[in-house]
Amino acid sequence: MKQLATLLLAVLCHSAVATNTPKNIIMIIGDGMGPAYTTAYRMYADDPNTPEVEQTVFDRLLVGMASTHPDIDTGYVTDSAAGATALSTGVKTYNGAIGVDANKESVQTVLELAKMQGRKTGVAVTSQINHATPASFGAHNESRQNYDQIADSYFDEKTNGQFVLDVMLGGGWKYFIRDDRNLVEQFKAAGYQYVDEFAQLDSVKVGTPLLGLFADAGLPWALDSANQLRLPTLAKAAIRQLENDQGYFLLIEASQVDWAGHGNDIGSAMAEMHDLALTLEWLEQYLVKNPDTLMVLTADHSTGGLSIGANNDYSWSPKWLKNLKVSPAKIGTQLMTAKDRGALASDLLGFELTIEEISSISAIESDKSRPFHKAIAKILDSRSNTGWTTPGHTGVDVQIFAKGLGSERFRGHLDNTGIAQTIFELLKDKR
């Protein structure tokens, strides 16, 4: 009788663990998305006709904070490769490292463990799919700059004889269709479907491996995208392909929040945040219908030292960012050959420029778009009273957001490696 009671207790305990173990894990990284970005987005999305500042999806999902420093011999400020490797492996490493430790030895990633367990795996990103963050989950390389090698490894390196990634959605034509090797044709010969237009995602065969490349490198800015739901579209398509009885692990990255931060471009930053927010709102509803799924969102670091308010002036005015017809980068490109720069810029920005603002772009003498882009970004900074401290990264803590089965385990303050270690634990508790 005592043995029966012990056995029954063990079964009940196992059942309790199993019911708290997610079948599917969706990990999302807002690259470069420090706390100032989510705060700014709350103000950007605020309805000015109501007395309160409404919460956003980021506020609803917030559960904790995370430290981000790389291997201490590197310093206190991480790059995306070391940050993503910490989030994928639970191991600190040097800046530039892709899925390897400080000694350049390969370290297992959460995505690889999920694959070994029989789950399907995928990445859906707005950068090239062999960029630092997705690469740190699906590859191993001593340098993030070895783009061709990383792309090759997606085909050449296998887990239990299988490709590590079942679904790959993002940019990267120039790395996968090269003079020396055509990886697209190799993936197609291996049974992958291939698409290079968003519209084709609606007609792919569900449940089969999928490679989707939609740009030479990173995708167009959210402001320039023909598909105004570009990240939500990629996320939905990836999940459709990955859903199965064994579960899946999906990495989603809002890659270009970081790129906007590097460019000190508040207009593009808020558009990229909106793209991510729409993705999260859809995922919130997905989790209601799929309670066996965990969603975890964090950032690898913060970029740009974004300041909501500048010049000792206690104000911030996001209204100037809401009527952009295209990205500041694209405005810069068009200004290069414009006969009336003031008129064109006013039209594309959605507000009339002052004489001083027109002078700032009319005085530029350059055959490159970058000076024009910077001038437009400065106009938006001045209008909105946005400040920046650097074109690089900063070492501030970032937020953790989570919902679904197991989300309570991410509450409080964690190191970025702790996020990965918790996901490893959840994967190893697989029912």
DSSP secondary structure, 192-226, as one string? -EEE-SGGGGGGSPTTS-EEEE-SSSSPPPGGG-S
Burial of 339 (0-12, 13-18, 19+ CB in 10 A): exposed
CA contacts within 13 A on the Cβ side of 406:
26
Helix 370-384 / helix 355-362 crossing angle, nearest 10 deg: 160
The answer on pLDDT for 170 being more than 90 is yes
Q: What is the mean pLDDT of the chain?
A: 94
For residue 353, CA distances in Å to 90, 224, 323, 345 come to: 49, 21, 13, 8
Q: What single letter denotes the amino acid at residue 119?
A: R
pLDDT above 80 for 55: yes
Q: Is pLDDT above 50 for 10? A: no
CATH number of the structural domain 317-384: 1.10.60.40
Q: What is the pTM of this model?
A: 0.94
Does the pLDDT value for residue 14 go beyond 50? Answer: no
Residue 102 neighbours by CB under 8 Å, 6+ apart? 71, 73, 92, 93, 94
Instruction: State pLDDT tens for residues 312-347.
Output: 989 999 999 999 999 999 999 999 999 999 999 999
Q: CA 429 from chain center: how many Å?
A: 27
Same topology between domain 22-307+396-428 and domain 317-384? no
Helices 341-349 and 328-335 pack at an angle, to 10 degrees, of 160
80 is catalytic: yes
Give the distance, in angstroms, between the CA of residue 220 and the centroid of all CA atoms in the same chain. 14
Catalytic residue, from 15, 80, 302, 366: name it. Answer: 80
Rounded average pLDDT over 151-164:
92
Q: Which residues contact 49 (CB under 8 A, 6 or more apart)?
A: none
The rounded distance, in Å, linking the Cα atoms of 72 and 74 is: 5
Dihedral (CA of 95, 98, 99, 101) sign:
negative
| Residue type for position 414 | L
Q: Give Cβ neighbours of residue 382 (< 8 Å, ≥ 6 apart).
A: none
pLDDT for the residue numbered 353: 98
Angle, helices 370-384/266-289, rounded to nearest 10 degrees:
80
- The answer to whether the CB of 58 falls within 8 A of the CB of 38 is yes
Q: Which pLDDT score is estimated for 430? A: 61
Distance CA 100, CA 13 (A): 36
Domain 22-307+396-428 has CATH 3.40.720.10: yes
* C-alpha closest to that of 214 among 181, 252, 173, 257: 173
Task: Answer whether 307's CB lies under 8 Å from 40's CB.
Answer: no
Lowest mean per-residue pLDDT among 159-168, 299-308, 338-347, 417-426:
159-168
- Residues of 92-102 as b/e, b for ≥16 C-beta within 10 angstroms? bbbbbbbbbbb
* pLDDT class of 19 with cuts at 50, 70, 90: low
Structure tokens at 260: 């906007």
Query: What's residue 7's pLDDT?
Result: 44
Q: Are 329 and 265 in contact (CB under 8 A)?
A: yes
Helix H, strand E, coil C: the string for 33-57 is CCHHHHHHHHHHHCCCCCCCCCCCH
What single letter denotes the amino acid at residue 267? G
pLDDT grade, residue 161 (50/70/90)? confident
Domain residues of the chain, as ranges?
22-307+396-428, 317-384
CA 394, distance to chain mean position in Å, is: 17
Specify the range with the lowest mean pLDDT, choosing from 129-133, 226-230, 350-354. 226-230
Distances (CA, A) of 409 to 50, 300, 415, 418: 35, 19, 13, 10
Q: Is the predicted pLDDT of residue 372 greater than 90, yes or no? A: yes
